[in-house]
Amino acid sequence: MMATVAPEPSRAAGGLARDFTASIVVFLVAMPLCMGIAVASGVPPEKGLLTGIIGGIVVGLLAGSPLQVSGPAAGLAVIVYELIRDQGLSALGPILLLAGAIQLVAGVLRLGGWFRAISPAVVHGMLAGIGVLIVAGQFHVLFDAKPLSSGTENLAAMPGRLLGLDASDIGRTEVAFGIGLLTILAMLGWEKVRPASLKLVPGALVGVVGATLLAFLASLDVAHVAVPANFADAVTLPTDAFWAALGRPAIYGTALAIAFIASAETLLSAAAVDRMHDGVRTDYDKELRAQGVGNLLCGLAGALPMTGVIVRSSANVQAGAVSRRSTILHGVWILSFVTLLPWLLREIPMAALGGILVVTGWRLVSVQHVRHLFHRYGALPALIWAATLVTVVTTDLLTGVLIGIGLSLLELVPHVRRLGLRVRRDDQAEHSLITLDGSATFLTLPKLTRTLEALPRGRSLTLDLDHVSKIDHTSAEMLNDWLQRRGASGDRIELVGERGRLAALA
């Protein structure tokens, strides 16, 4: 069921109060995730909190998706971890500066629609691969140990960690594992049994608070989060070495990969947020420009990269937010907390953050999505999903994405002689007719998306697909989302042609 948000915040009764309440909810969701993702990325927790502050206050002010929340994302944790491992922490700032500049230029050139043209099978396969890597790496954090140097090594070492536990000789490793396990059980248990009156209290918060109280009251000897007493120390301003690093050709490929992945994840998240409410639609190019500014600032401040994140964004919508004020305020609350109460953060066990990230990573591996692809579109999209996942885990993120995109081209082979798509729009007084002629593939998705999103609300629509020779799964997924969203808002839509009936079932 879709949540309803008033289209004009200024006319919403109690809009400020709703935004204030929603901002508290998002703040409670964001705090443990910001720190956990930083740990998974191989950097101190305060770096993730700094990204959350920039994402809330700065990107919140500039965003093209008013209800989307930006901050450090699990989807980039693996690539940042590998970047720091191979090139050092000092390379992260210059790379983020370049990545932000690429996003900013892409937004100015109005390329936002092209990022939405990436096959859903590739995106979800990439996220599933990242989920496997996060689970494998953070599994070792549950034992107060550090992740190994590669995903395959982490996977291979997992059984040994479990077999090394000794119930007859409880030591620091066993205690840390108990704390991590308690966090996971509290997080999952709360989400199953929480009363309706407390449905907005996040499971991650319950898990962290429970583990922290236990560790504090029992004076357990486990590793704790380390944050500076003065949060200003988390900001690392550029030095001469920072600017000199911009002359190293090796960093440009990594910057392009981060910009590409962060933009795709952000815009797909924004599209998902749009499906949750009936308010203002996302301006994808404006959102891309805002993300570019955010990552530029993160690079200059020595923080983590950011994207629009669906977990915090969905919490924002579900909590009743009506404008960007909620996102901005959540950034203010993070800044206030880390400035006034840093000692409280230092009581959090590292194993508790590991437990949160294990659950977060597991949820990225959406088997339900690959089943959907297989049942709706056949074996090829499912194969693309699986190949992307396996390649991300066994090689690296960029290689996995490129393999997935390469396999996506196989859908075009039978129709290589007719890949163009003509889109005609005929408007009458209270009715619009959209006629498509040709192949609707990810190559033509930006054109099709622009036309459909430009249609005014409150009128009947006819979508004529009788002359469409091909609809690939990327276009079918976009078309189905659009049909569901417009139908839920009360528009009457008629589909014409056999392809139209198939699209309606997709």
Q: Hey, is 467 helix, strand or coil? A: strand
CA nearest 10: which of 316, 324, 317? 324
DSSP state of 224: B
Q: Which long-range contacts (CB under 8 A, 24 or more apart) does 444-449 make?
A: 444/419, 444/420, 444/475, 445/113, 445/116, 445/117, 445/474, 445/475, 445/478, 446/113, 446/114, 446/116, 446/117, 447/421, 447/423, 448/421, 448/423, 448/475, 448/478, 448/479, 449/113, 449/116, 449/478
Given CATH 3.65.10.10, say whether it is the number of domain 421-505. no
What are the DSSP calls for 1-39, one per residue? -PPP--S-GGGSTTHHHHHHHHHHHHHHHHHHHHHHHHH
Count of positions (residues) in the chain: 506
- Using an 8 Å Cβ cutoff, are 442 and 436 in contact? no
Question: What is the chain's pLDDT, residue by residue, as a tens digit (506 residues)?
Answer: 333 333 334 444 468 888 998 899 899 889 988 998 998 899 999 999 999 999 999 999 999 999 999 999 887 888 899 899 888 889 999 999 999 999 999 999 988 878 778 888 888 888 888 889 989 999 999 999 988 878 889 999 999 999 999 888 889 999 999 999 999 999 999 999 999 888 888 889 999 999 999 999 999 999 999 888 899 999 999 999 999 999 898 899 899 989 988 998 898 788 778 877 777 878 999 999 999 999 999 999 999 999 998 888 888 888 888 999 999 999 999 999 999 999 999 999 999 999 998 998 898 888 888 898 898 888 999 999 999 999 999 988 778 888 998 998 887 777 666 778 899 988 887 888 999 998 888 888 888 888 888 888 777 888 888 888 888 888 888 888 888 878 777 788 888 876 554 554 44
Domain spans, the chain: 15-345, 366-415, 421-505
3-state secondary structure labels for all residues of 336-388:
HHHHHCHHHHCCCEHHHHHHHHHHHHHHHCCHHHHHHHHHHHCHHHHHHHHHH
Task: Write down the H helix ranges in 431-506.
Answer: 445-453, 473-488, 498-505
Amino acid identity for residue 13 in this structure: A
Alpha carbons 140 and 314: distance in angstroms, whole number: 29
Phi, psi of 182 (to 5 degrees): -60, -40
